[in-house]
Amino acid sequence: MAKRPKRKIIKIGEDDEIRLSDDEFLMLKLITESKFLSVDQIYSFISRSNKTNKKSLRDKLVRWASLDVLAVNPVYLGRNGVKVYYFRIGSKGIEILIKNGYAPKDWYDLRISDFFREKQQLHTIATQEMVTNTLILLDYNEQITSKPASSISLWNNEGNKIIIPDWIFSKDNHYLNIEIDTGSQEHDVLKDKITNYIQLAEKYPEQNHSVLFVVVDESLPVLEVKHKNRDKRVGNIKQTVIEQTEQLNIENLNLYVVSLYRAHGVAARVLLGETPLDTQQIGIEVTTIQKVLEYNNKFKDEYDVNTINGDSIYMYHTPSHLYADLILSVSNKAKTIQEKVFVVLLEEGYMTGLKKLHYLHSVMKSELREKVDKIIGVYKRKEEMEHDRLGELYPNLLVGVIGDLVEQMESEPKFYTMANKVRLEAVTFERTTYVDK
């Protein structure tokens, strides 16, 4: 039989008291750092260690609100204005956290009454949705720190903060900076943010920084989301990132752009070290692609596949960080088709692979020593391919999934081309066209 967690008795005035376990202290701290959370979000945290149901938790939170440990406020969500109750910390809650060593004394200065009144309420709700979903996926991994950006100092030489993200996850020396986009930011503001992250990475070369731009979508049913076509917004941000960073190679800075409904999965993979792929992993995947095309039973009957040294393709001024991961020569047995093919590894939301693709697609026909005919972009997972948005049409691009290609060794390899900026269409190797705009 599981032991019940030990609880500390906290006196509230002369007649009331509450009993708090260590995880409930941490829950109050999380609510404070998050500004406000819904019952569902609080339940996702506390249910890990406390055997409670959602109704019992809600009743407890309401009681605590009556004692000024918390405060409660309804927020109207969805097209029909469904009422959802959010809880923030109360003045007694701040006092409890400080006196019991869970918060610094300067928390007395927090303007907690403004938490519900802040102008960017949608922005905060989206941030907490992304953060709590990520923590759930990570099972609240104790090795990963999750804090509002205001609690971490990232200063420039003038003593001002270089950039203030909406949230920061960290593990060891790696910082994942979260930027929530509700669609209201001007293009120049976004460009300035990217410039500031570049400055941040250059000032702190001993740190590794990732930035995840998260576009709020209809997975968060809030009336104030202005534009339904979030894929277009994702694509626009990606093109802005490319404009700002294509010629830069900053080893301690990785940028990602995704929609909200995919953000927690990408964030978890970043924090667990599953993305981006390291040099060894890239080598393994590149070798796999090469062998798949060389030894596929259908493909090898029709084509000869060989690797090409980049020295015969790239110009002296071609940026090395934008080189393809692999270059292949593909010719049919009759030698009527002789094509050179770039292979680029793609990861969902990850801008480095997309920057390579974008650059190589722009130079492949005229700005290299020899013309290149196609680009094959490959993902490790099919769901990454299905949910990634490239932001622009690439007519000479074939897309594939490494796992699927391995499984298709007895049949013709399946590739996809961009039917439009969102939809992919299955094609054979010979056909590389898009259907509509």
Question: In the prediction, which pLDDT does 115 show?
Answer: 87
Residue 358 in contact with residue 246, Cβ under 8 Å?
Answer: yes
Domain ranges of the chain: 8-111, 121-275, 279-427
Question: In the prediction, which pLDDT does 79 show?
Answer: 58
Q: What is the mean pLDDT of the chain?
A: 88
What is the DSSP-derived secondary structure letter of residue 309? -
Q: What is the DSSP string of 176-200?
A: EEEEEE-S---HHHHHHHHHHHHHH
Cα 92 to Cα 68, 98, 272, distances in angstroms: 5, 10, 37
Question: In the prediction, which pLDDT does 193 show?
Answer: 93
CATH of 121-275, one of 3.30.1480, 3.30.70, 3.40.50, 2.40.30: 3.40.50
Counting residues of the chain whose pLDDT is more than 70, the rounded percentage is 91
Note if the pTM is more than 0.85. yes
**Neighbour tally for 187: CB within 10 Å:** 11
Question: In the prediction, which pLDDT does 334 show?
Answer: 81
Query: Residue 206 pLDDT more than 50?
Result: yes
Question: In the prediction, which pLDDT does 383 show?
Answer: 94
Give residue-wise pLDDT tens across range 315-364. Answer: 999 999 999 999 999 998 888 888 999 999 999 999 999 999 999 999 99
Question: In the prediction, which pLDDT does 223 show?
Answer: 47
Residue 163 in contact with residue 197, Cβ under 8 Å?
Answer: yes
CA–CA gap between residue 180 and residue 120 (Å, rounded): 11
Question: Average pLDDT for residues 146-167, to the nearest whole number?
Answer: 67
Give residue-wise pLDDT tens across range 165-183. Answer: 999 999 999 999 999 998 8
Q: Extract the runs of DSSP E, i.e. beta strands, from 231-292.
A: 253-259
Question: In the prediction, which pLDDT does 13 show?
Answer: 85
pLDDT band (50, 70, 90) for residue 160: low
Question: In the prediction, which pLDDT does 5 show?
Answer: 64
| 8-111, CATH topology level | Arc Repressor Mutant, subunit A (1.10.10)
